[in-house]
Amino acid sequence: MPLSPRRLTASLAPLHSPPPPRQPPSSAPQKTRRATTHELIAGGGNPSLSRQQRLGERGRAPPAMEYVNPLTGFRVDGRRPNEMRQLKGEVGVVARADGSALFEMGNTRVIAAVYGPREVQNKGQQVNSKDALVRCEYRMADFSTGDRRRKPKGDRRSTEISLVIRQTMEASILTHLMPRSQIDIFVQVLQADGGTRAACINAATLALADAGIPMRDIVTSCSADLNYIEDSAGGPDVTVGFLTKMDKVTLLQMDAKLPMDTFETVMDLAIEGCKAIANYIREVLLENTRRLECQRDH
Amino acid sequence: MVGLSEGEKHFIRGGIAQDLRTDGRRRLQFRAISVETGVIPQANGSARVRLGATEVIATVKAELGKPSILHPDKGKVSIFVDCSPTAAPMFEGRGSEEFSAELCVALQRCLLGGKSGAGAAIDLSSLIVVDGKVCWDLYIDGLVVSSDGNLLDALAAAIKVALSDTGIPKVNVSLSATTDQEPEVNVSDEEFLQFDTSSVPVIVTLTKVGKHYIVDATSEEESQMSSAVSVSVNRHGQIRGLTKRGGAGLDPSVIFDMISVAKHVSRQFISVLDSETLAAEAAE
């Protein structure tokens, strides 16, 4: 069943949802081409980052639908099964923060800002005076998902993701070098199109590096799911956080049952994805350092 | 919020008194403005506006809904503002609620007109699809990403640009024979209607520091303000709304003076915004 992204959107949209975004007809093929020609991680990529196209990460059961076209072998957005979405990283997007970054994975777009290390603002939160206190808040913009909803702040999902990001970042920050201080990481989702968790962690890593906070290693994250292997819709989703140089997994989340041997394949794919993202993040940081060096010379 | 020493405070106030501010601007000069349109593809219209280090995003989403019983011939528009904690750590958790609400009310006052919808900057009757049955609900969302003062002016400018970027899908209605049945609505995904945004105002905030007032204050300058008057002015020089913030009282004659200055400044601001918008739309 050949499916165009537009048809998928149309069929997934609830009855009184906003209309599909206005797009000049010429932009659609261009987008697909961009996704497929992006060879950065081709081969070693990740099976399906945008399974939940237009669904965000709302946890709604996806309808029974094949995400890989059995005839062409391409996914609904024109990618190959193990091809990653286009990545984009930019450092220093929030002028007044100590460190900040924008990270895009396909249509998922996230901004992270880091304030600190600074004096602990609320002494009651300080558990251990020998280590830095790392705090994190995750927030989704009202317009980030396909249909617009207004949610109270601090709902369970946001709280959980804030916790996940904090724990993942804490594992890579050298907190013992900054005693009695506090580091705040704020992540704002501008567009949610699947894999927001992973995108947030990658954005936070870039922002922490921009703030010059000492870290053990670059921690990157990537999510993978099985649809192309199992060919079953609504397949399990595996998110992995990975310290590339130390070769250690710091985050692992899966939300379905899965045979052990398949799990290994999926996790390997996700780890490959993490490595590819780490390479990309390193490139972005090097590029930024070069730019800073040029500015210093002039 | 902003930690300033006595010397710095004195320097800022002295600079304003001498018409040369800390960043080299004059009192009635805006910072460089940059505009991007179509930044959120999921929305019907969106814009990002940067004023110096202040950065805001505005989106417009249109949903089909039912008009209210009191105004069956009008659509609905609502405005929401959120301050992201990325802009300042003080916006963390519920810390931004009060400030967001203040901005939100000020924008509603300037853009939406009275309770009856009269005087709204957006022609509400253009949002009606079937009288009393179907209309468009416009949701305007503002998000403050980076904050360095003058958020209200930046948000209003972003909303103005986002509205001009907005395309409302064309709706074909097939009326059924019986009038009390729900009309069948067919939303086109190829044809879009553009808004008439010529009457959407911009907001110019005049911040009073000492004896003088300045436009486009940075957060350092805002920390020294005694009061601020936000005037929303449209292209024809008509005042659409007025808000005064800050504790200090103002002499009525000063307010009239401020309004006329705001009118004058808004003319330049609108022309700069228009040319930036055109450039952004061409680049998109």
Which of A21-30, A78-87, A153-162, B193-202 shows the lowest per-residue confidence on average (mean pLDDT)?
Answer: A21-30
Do A131 and A180 meet the contact criterion of CB atoms below 8 Å apart?
no
* B-chain residues near A144 (CB < 8 A): 42
Residue B249: how many CB atoms within 10 A of its CB? Answer: 10
The total of structural domains in chain A comes to 1
Q: Do the beta carbons of residue A197 and residue A239 sit within 8 Å? A: yes
Contact B157, B49 (CB under 8 A): yes
Report yes or no on A65 lying in a domain. no
User: Does residue B80 surpass a pLDDT of 70?
Assistant: yes
Cα-Cα-Cα-Cα dihedral of B220, B225, B229, B230, to 10°?
10
Question: Which of the four pLDDT bands, split at 50, 70 and 90, describes residue A44?
Answer: very low
Cβ pair A144:B84 closer than 8 A? no
Of A142, A150, A153, the CB nearest to B94: A153
Band of residue A62 on the pLDDT scale cut at 50, 70, 90: very low
DSSP letters for A229-292: HH--TT--EEEEEEETTTTEEEEEEE-S---HHHHHHHHHHHHHHHHHHHHHHHHHHHHHHHHH
**Residue of A25, A97, A142 lying closest to B86 (CB–CB):** A97
Task: Please name the member of B62, B80, B92 whose beta carbon is closest to the beta carbon of A19.
Answer: B62
| CATH number, domain with residue A289 | 3.30.230.70
In a domain, A187, yes or no: yes
Residues from chain A that touch B87, judged by Cβ atoms under 8 A, are 94, 96, 113
Residue whose structure tokens are 């007109």: B113
In order of start, what are the domains of chain B with their CATH numbers? 6-283 (3.30.230.70)
Residue A16 lies in a domain: no
Query: Which of B284, B36, B45 is closest to B141 using CA atoms?
Result: B45
The 10s digit of each residue's pLDDT in B100-132 is: 999 999 998 888 876 666 667 788 888 888 888
A100 in any annotated domain: yes
In a domain, A58, yes or no: no
Is residue A30 situated within a structural domain? no
pLDDT at A246 over 80: yes
Q: Distance, in angstroms, between B68 CA and closest chain A CA? A: 17
List the structure tokens of B198. Answer: 């010529």
Reported as a single tens digit per residue, the pLDDT across A139-154 is 999 888 877 766 666 6
**Do A19 and B40 make contact, defined as CB atoms within 8 angstroms?**
no
Task: Find out whether B67 and B75 touch, Cβ atoms under 8 Å.
Answer: yes
Least confident range from A70-79, B100-109, B133-142: namely: A70-79
- The whole-number average pLDDT for the span A8-36 is 37
Å from B67 to nearest chain A CA? Answer: 14
**Which residues from A are below 8 Å from B85, CB to CB?**
113, 137, 139, 184, 186, 188
Say which range, A44-58, A122-136, A277-291, B46-60, has the weakest mean pLDDT. A44-58
The residue among B171, B237, B63, B208 whose CA lies nearest residue A13 is B63
Compute the average pLDDT of residues A148-171: 84
Nearest-neighbour CA in chain B from A82: distance (Å): 25
Q: Letter for the amino acid at A118?
A: R
CA–CA separation, B142 and B189 (whole Å): 25
Q: How confident is the model at residue A226 (pLDDT cuts 50, 70, 90)?
A: low
| B86–chain A nearest CA distance, Å | 5
ipTM above 0.85, yes or no: yes
pLDDT at B142: 95
- Residue B140: closest C-alpha in chain A: A143
**CB–CB of A19 and B187 under 8 A?**
yes
Contact A22 B63 (CB under 8 A): no
B141–A25 C-beta distance less than 8 A: no
d(CA B229, CA B245): 6
Q: Do B61 and A148 touch (CB under 8 A)?
A: yes
- A153 contact residues in B (CB cutoff 8 A): 93-94, 97
In this structure, is residue A66 part of a structural domain? no
Return the pLDDT at A32: 34
How is A210-225 classified by DSSP, letter by letter? HTT--BSS-EEEEEEE
Question: Is the predicted pLDDT of residue B245 greater than 80, yes or no?
Answer: yes
Give the range among A65-69, A243-247, B164-168 with minimum mean pLDDT.
A65-69
From the CB of residue A177, how many other CB atoms can be counted at a distance below 10 Å?
12
Of residues B41, B139, B143, nearest to A148 (C-beta)? B139
What does B177-207 look like in DSSP terms, one character per residue? SSTTSPPEEEEEEEEEEE---TT--EEEEEE
Amino acid of residue B203 = I
Residue of A nearest to B53 (CA): A95
Look up the domain containing A244 and give its range. 87-297
Out of A17, A188, A191, the one facing B86 most closely (by C-beta) is A188
Q: Which residues of B touch A181 (CB under 8 A)?
A: none
Is A94 close to B145, i.e. CB distance below 8 A? yes
Note the pLDDT tens digit of each residue in A281-297.
999 999 999 999 999 87
* Chain B CB contacts of A151 below 8 Å: none
Distance (Å) from the alpha carbon of A218 to chain B's nearest alpha carbon? 21
State chain A's maximal CA–CA distance in angstroms. Answer: 61
Say whether A111 and B86 touch across the interface (CB within 8 A): yes
pTM of the model: 0.83
pLDDT (tens digit per residue) in A109-147: 999 999 989 999 888 888 888 899 999 999 999 888 877
Is the pLDDT score of B279 beyond 60?
yes
